[in-house]
Amino acid sequence: MNFINRTNELADLEKRWKSGKPELFIVYGKRRVGKTELVKKFIQGKPAIYFLADKRTMIDQLREVSRLVGEAFGDPLIEKQGFGDWLEVFRYLQRNSKKRCILVVDEFPYLAEVDSAASSVFQKGWDEYLRAQQSMLILMGSSIAMMESETLIQKAPLFGRRTGQLLLQPLSFSQSWQFFPKMSFVDFLEFYAVVGGMPAYLMQMEGLLSAEENLVAHVLPKTEFLYNEIEFVLKEELREPKNYLSILRAISFGKRKLGEIVNETGIDRTLVNKYLHTLAQLLIVERELPVTEKNPVKSRKGLYRLCDNFFRFWFQYVFPYKSDLEIGRHNEVLRKFREQFNMLTAIAYEEVCRELAPTWQDQLFPFERVGKWWDKNEEIDVVAINQRENQILLGECKWSEKPVGTNIYESLKKKAQLVDWGLEGREERYILFSKSGFTADMKKIAREEKVLLVEKDRLMV
């Protein structure tokens, strides 16, 4: 499969390479997000050495580094004799590189686990050898907490040495669609509701199969990569995943307030807070707030959500049915899937609508923030604001087989009156999103009142 997107990230790396300046660049992000493929794409055709660290002893890893360096420099002697430590590697690169080169160390946290002095050694190697040689050193890692503690925070040995960093995010809906460009919006949204924007997960799906057929072929069988993926990720990142599994399952089933999570899991409130903080650091969970909140840190309206579509899907359709799936019984999962999947797709559609809304800023106004809004009894799916100009956009998303009528619009206008933001003289604009179009009456009112109507992902003119 061809390399998909990451245009901006590649352009930034290329700019740094062409500058000719020494670069110590940090690339980190969740597992499966595509860090390795991005960097491998970048180093194609350049003088580069790529090393993937693991949990072997440092001696064994240095043997592999010796082989890679020996091959790169056509030096069978160093390949045979090997390096005694990483400083020897850096010294060799400085002395033998006739031109600028790139050294990539993937999964750098594994080196730090094997040798607690690794970050200090790399700091010395950078200061004394690689920086003077105008090298480009790229350190990568999937353990976000470890990458931050070893390279980014003030106490880290490498702090102050880095010239830049990239926290690689999952692909957006539009970017993900490039994996299956011939699919219709509706069909791909069903894929996206399952696997989200993680490239490794998207690559498990077959474009000629429906979402349900892909589920049967590539998610439910216990021999498939995606079947155990979430447990694998959690075990890699967490020492005791049991309580985390309970918390994530509760959130996936709609228990989004702290108190609801505590009641659902039976775990002490203080511990739940601690676990949620850890999950947020790992970019698995986020605390979502109404976009209009003036003081987000002190707000009591926070609701927890899973950041990743596949986490949400897995906790609803795989985790609760592990006993059945282990012996190949898929019927109960498929029954639930057919009954409830439309609701999961509707949630994904709301998120996609918030992603798409900035597309039409020219017809509306420049957005400072985009999100959603809620209070105790009501919510609005899409809200965008411009505080400087006191402008607000309010929108609803309907994933239904029925065209959206004027009743949805009138209901939205009533809810808009409850939004306590910029009330004095604010300019209100409205937008409606629909899977199945709009009634004739709604189209007429939209023309009269300048309401934007979006069918699927297309603005209706």
Tens digit of pLDDT per residue, the chain (461 long)?
467 779 999 999 999 999 999 999 999 999 999 999 999 999 999 999 999 999 999 999 999 999 999 999 999 999 899 999 999 999 999 999 888 899 999 999 999 999 989 999 999 999 999 998 889 999 999 888 888 888 888 788 888 898 999 999 999 999 999 999 999 999 999 999 999 999 999 999 999 999 999 999 999 999 999 999 999 999 988 888 999 999 999 999 999 999 999 999 999 999 999 999 999 999 999 999 999 998 888 888 999 999 999 999 999 999 999 999 999 999 999 999 999 999 999 999 999 999 999 999 999 999 999 999 999 899 999 999 999 999 999 999 999 999 999 999 999 999 999 999 998 899 999 999 999 999 999 999 999 999 999 999 999 97
CA count, 13 A, side-chain hemisphere, 446: 25
Decide whether 7-167 matches 364-459 in CATH topology.
no
Q: How many whole angstroms separate alpha carbon 253 and alpha carbon 314?
A: 11
Strand partners, 452: 431
For domain 174-352, the CATH class is: mainly alpha
pLDDT at 298: 85
DSSP state of 130: I
pLDDT at 215: 96
pLDDT at 152: 80
CATH number for the domain running over 364-459: 3.40.1350
- The H-assigned helical ranges of 74-149 are 76-81, 86-96, 108-114, 118-125, 144-147
Q: Which residues contact 341 (CB under 8 A, 6 or more apart)?
A: 190, 193, 211, 212
Strand partners, 427: 391
Q: Are strands 369-374 and 379-386 parallel, antiparallel or unpaired?
A: antiparallel
User: Positive or negative, the Cα torsion across 59, 65, 71, 75?
Assistant: negative
User: Positive or negative, the Cα torsion across 268, 271, 276, 277?
Assistant: positive
Q: Kindly list the domain boundaries of the chain, sorted by start residue.
A: 7-167, 174-352, 364-459
pTM tops 0.85, yes or no? yes
Radius of gyration (C-alpha) of the chain in whole angstroms: 25
pLDDT at 2: 60
pLDDT at 5: 79
Query: CATH homologous superfamily of domain 7-167?
Result: P-loop containing nucleotide triphosphate hydrolases (3.40.50.300)
Q: Determine contact, residues 383/370, Cβ cutoff 8 Å.
A: yes
Task: Tell me the DSSP string of 379-436.
Answer: EEEEEEEETTTTEEEEEEEE-SSSPB-HHHHHHHHHHHTT--SSTTT-EEEEEEEESS
Q: Determine contact, residues 197/171, Cβ cutoff 8 Å.
A: yes
Amino acid at 313: F
Considering all CA atoms of the chain, what is the largest pairwise distance in Å, rounded to the nearest integer? 81
